[in-house]
Amino acid sequence: MKQSHSFAPRRTRAQRSAALASVLLFASAGAGAATSAELATAQASVDQMPPSATLRKIAENGAIVLGTRESSVPFSYTVKQQPVGYSYDIALKVVDDIRKRLKMPNLAVKNVMVTSANRISYVVNNQVDLECGSTAHVADRDPLVAFSNSFFQYGIRMAVKKKSGIRDYDDLANRTVVTTAGTSDERMLRQMSIDRKLNLRIISARDHAEAFAALKSDRAVAFVMDDPLLYGKIAQEGAARNEYTVTGAPLANEAYGCMMRKGDPVFKRIVDDVIAGMQRSGEATKLYETWFMRPIPPDGINLQFPMSPEMKALFANPNDRTID
For residues 245 and 259, membership in a common domain is answered with no
Task: Identify the three-state secondary structure at position 119.
Answer: helix
For residues 164 and 144, membership in a common domain is answered with no
321 belongs to a structural domain: no
For residues 60 and 161, membership in a common domain is answered with no
Predicted confidence band of residue 123 (pLDDT cuts 50, 70, 90) = very high
pLDDT at 20: 41
For residues 250 and 261, membership in a common domain is answered with no
pLDDT above 90 covers a percentage of the chain that reads 83
pLDDT at 64: 98
1-39 per-position pLDDT tens digit: 333 333 333 444 444 444 443 333 333 333 457 778 777
For residues 191 and 106, membership in a common domain is answered with no
271-309 per-position pLDDT tens digit: 999 999 999 999 999 999 999 999 999 999 999 899 999
pLDDT at 27: 38
Long-range contacts of 56-59 (CB under 8 A, 24+ apart): 56/10, 56/11, 57/8, 57/126, 57/129, 58/98, 58/102, 58/107, 58/129, 59/102, 59/104
pLDDT at 324: 67
Residue 139 CB contacts under 8 Å (≥ 6 apart), including other chains: 322, 324
6 belongs to a structural domain: no
Residue 61 maps to which CATH number?
3.40.190.10
49-89 per-position pLDDT tens digit: 778 999 999 999 999 999 999 999 999 999 999 999 999 99
For residues 284 and 143, membership in a common domain is answered with yes
50 belongs to a structural domain: yes
Using alpha carbons, select from 146, 151, 136 the residue that is nearest to residue 185: 136
**Mean pLDDT, the chain, integer:** 89
For residues 93 and 201, membership in a common domain is answered with no
1 belongs to a structural domain: no
Cβ atoms of 32 and 77 within 8 Å: the answer is no
115 belongs to a structural domain: yes
Q: Is the pLDDT of residue 134 over 80?
A: yes
196-223 per-position pLDDT tens digit: 999 999 999 999 999 999 999 999 999 9
3 belongs to a structural domain: no
Range of the domain at 228: 155-254
295 belongs to a structural domain: yes
Please tell me the pTM assigned to this model. 0.81
For residues 22 and 147, membership in a common domain is answered with yes
For residues 193 and 220, membership in a common domain is answered with yes
Q: Is the pLDDT of residue 120 over 50?
A: yes
Total domains in the chain come to: 2
For residues 127 and 18, membership in a common domain is answered with yes
pLDDT at 38: 77
Residue 312 CB contacts under 8 Å (≥ 6 apart), including other chains: none
324 belongs to a structural domain: no
Cβ atoms of 54 and 264 within 8 Å: the answer is yes
Helix (H) or strand (E) holding 95: helix 86-102
For residues 250 and 282, membership in a common domain is answered with no
For residues 142 and 159, membership in a common domain is answered with no
